[in-house]
Amino acid sequence: MSEQAVTAQSEDFSRWYNEIVYRADLAAPSPVRGCVIIKPYGYEIWEGIKGGLDRRFKATGHQNAYFPLFIPESYIKREAQHVEGFSPELAVVTHAGGKELEEPLVVRPTSETVIGEAFSDWIQSYRDLPLLINQWSNVVRWELRTRPFLRTAEFLWQEGHTAHATHDEAEEETLQMLDIYADFAVKDAAIPVIKGEKSRMERFAGAVRTYTIEAMMRDRRALQSGTSHNLGQNFAKAFDIRYLAENNEQAYCWTTSWGLSTRMVGAVVMTHGDDKGLRLPPKLAPYQAVIVPIYRKDDQKPLVMETVNRLEKQIGAAGIRVHVDRREGQSPGFKFNDWEMRGVPVRIEIGPKDVQNNNAVLARRDVPRREGKQFVSQDGIADALDALLNAIQANLLADARAFRDRHISDVGAYDEMRQVVEGGDWARAWWNGSDEDELAVKDETGATIRCFPFEQPGGTGYCVKTGQPAQKVALFARAY
RNA sequence: CGGGGCGUGGCGCAGCCCGGUAGCGCGCACGGUUUGGGUCCGUGAGGUCCCCGGUUCGAAUCCGGGCGCCCCGACCA
């Protein structure tokens, strides 16, 4: 067999990550630098993410639509901060149909501009508001340094765009969508996240306020996993999104945008994975259970397979995503390791003994070796499996939460913060600094302000950098 | 964009210094063996040695130029 074990996380986390992504068959390298091919197993995880989010979007009144991939270059330039933020990483089409284009077309890095232009047509009256639109799409940002899922030149995401009559409604929407992201992350992806507001420096180009959910990866680096922006009237003014109010006066809309991308796949990998490979939360796992049939001689095979086929139907009928590993020529031991690497939450072993005793072995991925194995009766196996999957889902979340909480410290003095952050942990500290102070912290410690958490200790303190009185604590960490 | 590394069957690599029949492991195909934690044996298929030019009787190997990729950092919604 090839190199058997993957590189240990503790040895080289980034190498571990790359190996897992390729060996677990989530993705493959692409011919184009910075892009990846998302393979079926990885894409199914994304489909799980899409499903979980889309359901929540619809439940809160949003509708899906689709806008063009190409954006006239002039659109991008209409909002000053927006163009400044994005121009370094734009891919631009200058030729098409064998001719130079009159106006270059930008491959969308995000769609505030095209959608803003559309909104200005669609919205006439306060009766047209709120307008709640989402699109599932690909976007391109020409990043210099890329990593599969975490940052690729092209990635898949959803971007929500909404328009409202008042600032307060827009703010409410912005926060609601952040809550939806957090709810999804916690309940479906089993990733505990910290909700908070971004600093001025980390704000989306063109936003008035940016909110984020931040997650801690297994190497303790922070990953911004979803963002929600209150755009104020910046884009409304740039794209003339106005409505006629009840009092017959024209007013600019207040808009929002919010996005979550295939980066979430990377978050799942890096939050739950261990030295044996992936550990997928049952809600997002393409296969929630895999049956490995075991037979010694050919004459045992029909008997075992008969039971396996029956259980496959039984389990599938209960709405559990089950897969039978029918590969010939691989030993059960090989298959055990293979599915562990690929993160399947539960492995079901069926051998001659089980056929005879009317039972099956359930082995949970989140508990190693023997302790994770149990015998269950074939009757009612679906119920047992269902309970086990719920337990695993809960355990992964609890695990990740405990890990995260162990690695966040409250600090008072700058030296203390530096020590915590340089050791790889996160630091929570009072903050009242300027943009320059924030840059200096990054320079001196490698950490950035991930967010000002919504959950604040209350009261006031002294800024970790300036020593001045401060109203809020910030979360500092090294980030992806 | 700065620093480092690398381009040789599908993947991972050796060979290069010191020029002379292109090799190993894995994977793949076939046969047998095995199967409750990464079986073993045999047979076989598969290569423009990144590209261009030069030196030479002869270049994967030496020289010149080019291209590409990866890693670290900087940058980054």
Q: Summarize pLDDT for A114-158 with one digit per residue, the tens.
A: 999 999 999 999 999 999 999 999 999 988 888 899 999 899 999
Q: Whole-number Å distance, CA A83 to C1' B65? A: 40
> Which nucleotides of strand B lie under 7 Å from a protein CB?
1, 11, 25-27, 33-40, 68-77
Residue A1 has pLDDT above 60, yes or no: no
Rounded to 10 deg, the angle between the A381-406 and A263-272 helix axes is 90
Q: Whole-number Å distance, CA A33 to C1' B58? A: 38
Q: Is the CB of A88 under 7 A from strand B?
A: yes
Q: What region, left, alpha or beta, does residue A39 occupy, with left being phi > 0 and alpha being psi -120 to 50 degrees?
A: beta
A185: Cβ–Cβ under 8 A, 6 or more apart, which residues?
A: A191, A192, A193, A213, A215, A225, A226, A264, A267
**Which letter does DSSP use for residue A151 in this model?**
B
- CA gap A477, A220 in Å, rounded: 8
Q: A4 falls in which pLDDT band (50, 70, 90)?
A: low
Residue A429 has pLDDT above 60, yes or no: yes
Which of A279, A315, A269 shows the shortest CA–CA distance to A392? A279
Q: Is the CB of A23 under 7 A from strand B?
A: no
Q: Whole-number Å distance, CA A31 to C1' B50? A: 14
- CA gap A413, A418 in Å, rounded: 9
CA distances from A90 to A93, A170, A255 (A): 10, 28, 23
* % of chain A residues with pLDDT over 70: 99
> In degrees rounded to 5, what are phi and psi of residue A388?
-65, -40
Q: Is the peptide bond before A282 cis (omega within 30 degrees of 0)?
A: no
Q: Is the CB of A99 under 7 A from strand B?
A: no
What is the set of domains in chain A, with CATH numbers?
Answer: 13-272 (3.30.930.10), 289-403 (3.40.50.800), 408-477 (3.30.110.30)
pLDDT at A432: 95
Averaged confidence pLDDT in chain A: 94
C1' of nucleotide B70: residue with nearest CA: A33
What ipTM did this prediction achieve? 0.89
Residue A181 has pLDDT above 90, yes or no: yes
pLDDT at A87: 86
**Helix, strand, coil shares, percent, chain A, to 5:** 40, 30, 35
Q: Summarize pLDDT for A62-118 with one digit per residue, the tens.
A: 999 999 999 999 999 998 888 888 888 898 998 888 888 999 999 999 999 999 999
Q: Once rounded to an integer, what is the mean pLDDT over residues A17-22?
A: 89
Rounded to 10 deg, the angle between the A40-59 and A263-272 helix axes is 110
Which of A86, A71, A127, A119 shows the shortest CA–CA distance to A237? A119
C1' of nucleotide B26: residue with nearest CA: A2
Q: Is the CB of A302 under 7 A from strand B?
A: no
CA distances from A384 to A312, A344, A392 (A): 14, 16, 12
Which of A90, A40, A51 shows the shortest CA–CA distance to A70? A90
C1' of nucleotide B75: residue with nearest CA: A144
User: For residue A415, what are its two tokens?
Assistant: 């030296």
Instruction: Select the more confidently predicted residue: A228 or A10.
Output: A228
- Beta-bridged to residue A140, according to DSSP, are A154
Q: Once rounded to an integer, what is the mean pLDDT over residues A369-387?
A: 96
Give the DSSP H/E element, type plus range, for residue A400: helix A381-406
Residue A2 has pLDDT above 80, yes or no: no
pLDDT at A81: 87
Q: Once rounded to an integer, what is the mean pLDDT over residues A164-176?
A: 98
User: For residue A476, what are its two tokens?
Assistant: 């500092």
